[in-house]
Amino acid sequence: MKPIRVALLGCGTVGTEVVRLLTDQADDLTQRIGAPVELVGIAVRRPNKHREVPEHLLTTDAEALVKSDDVDVIVEVIGGIDPTRGLLLEALQRGKSVVTANKALLAEHGPDLFEAADASGADLYFEAAVAGAIPLLRPLRESLAGDRITRVMGIVNGTTNFILSAMDATGAGYSETLEEASRLGYAEADPTADVDGFDAASKAAILASLAFHTRVTASDVYREGIRAVSAADIAAAKGLGRTVKLLAICERVTSPSGQESVAVRVHPAMIPRTHPLASVNGAFNAVFVEADAAGEMMFYGQGAGGAPTASAVVGDLVAVARNMVASGHGPRESAYAALSAQPMGNTPTRYHISLDVADKPGVLSQVAAVFAEHDVSIAAVRQEGRVEDASLVIVTHAATDAALRSTVDKIGGLPVVRDVVSVMRVEGEE
């Protein structure tokens, strides 16, 4: 067979590892695919920064590489929206298959890319976009295609999981733990995308799109980060036999009238220490999937890093190359369900609420009256301390998030409540 000619866009941490894998495993890849893989060009911004790569492969003209008739497959590890979106659309429109790790682009413009791929018959693979080395998207897209997935819940950001795990282990606060994560290389110089939940929200949109056969974009995802998580929150979770994780939660929900929709959210939550996700620590990722026939499954592994992510990228490249050798193509976009996105306010959640209260008779009855007024049921209540240190901790049963928010807002205005110290959602068994 003639070689499968590949162009690489970007050669940073992940791209360098992709080049290494293609070089070190060249003979094995040829046997697995049925044809050799030939790297014909690498687009970078500063060629002099890539001395580990053969100089004749480097170019600063990514567009020319995409348009070249000598390229069959484009592998993109640049990241970002522009100019990447235009480059990948150009490649797909020309019938070149694309392998990408770009979660932000897929979450914002996935439909455009899928439509271009469908129109030309090209493949679009993106396993590395959500959970690094963890085989997750292909099982959702292919292995579970005969099942009905009802829920996907997971830890999909290594930086925030490292921070929360360290806070749980040491009792330290958020700011000092973030500094430690930066020192160890787990957090970027600007950690906004991670700690404010943008990265996880993009991944949640991709997961929901595949799981529920519906186009879900990042704007459909409710998002909260971990900046407000305190050492007191972690300690409170421990007291309840729980731990705090930043979760991406994608659910198929049914209204009282029988109308189905999807609820997609990213936020910190307390989960039982007995839950499989509770033991996922450090920079590791894990995703818990529930399906009607298959039941409960968990996918676990390294969710980031150059070599783990490159493993998923090269795995996609092998799949694309095999399709080319067999004169076929991979799965197309499945968005037939076209379910609407449920607003966060209508989504059932549970809250853990910590209140600084006056130590006087009738406090609990006044607080309980507000819960009853908003039709929110209390699952557990605990009062701690006396006088100036008096506090009230309440855990609710499930209610709409809007009702819970309204309840907290009104409680904060009660004369007997000095401060709403913290509010955190609770997931898992009641």
* Cα 50 from Cα 12, distance rounded (Å): 9
Contact 336, 215 (CB under 8 A): no
Does residue 16 have a known ligand-binding role?
yes
Token pair recorded at residue 182: 């930066």
Does residue 9 have a known ligand-binding role?
yes
Query: 360 catalytic, yes or no?
Result: no
Token pair recorded at residue 213: 């056969």
Does residue 150 have a known ligand-binding role?
no
Q: Which residues have a Cβ under 8 Å from the Cβ of 55 and sit 6 or more positions away?
A: 47
Does residue 14 have a known ligand-binding role?
yes
Measure Cα distances from 185 to 20, 32, 92, 175, 188 in Å. 22, 35, 35, 15, 7
Which is nearest to 387 in space by CA: 408, 363, 370, 411?
A: 363
The CB density around residue 190, as the number of other CB atoms within 10 Å, is 8
Q: Which residues have a Cβ under 8 Å from the Cβ of 46 and sit 6 or more positions away?
A: none
Token pair recorded at residue 58: 């480097």
Catalytic entry in 2, 49, 67, 203:
203
Does residue 210 have a known ligand-binding role?
no
Does residue 224 have a known ligand-binding role?
no
Which is nearest to 294 in space by CA: 151, 163, 114, 408?
A: 151
Q: Which residues have a Cβ under 8 Å from the Cβ of 335 and sit 6 or more positions away?
A: 111, 114, 209, 213, 214, 215
* Cα 196 from Cα 408, distance rounded (Å): 22
Does residue 12 have a known ligand-binding role?
yes
Does residue 188 have a known ligand-binding role?
yes
Does residue 103 have a known ligand-binding role?
yes
Does residue 10 have a known ligand-binding role?
yes
- Active-site annotation, residues: 203
Which parts are annotated binding residues for NADPH?
103
Which parts are annotated binding residues for NADP(+)?
9-16
Which parts are annotated binding residues?
9-16, 103, 188
Which parts are annotated binding residues for L-homoserine?
188
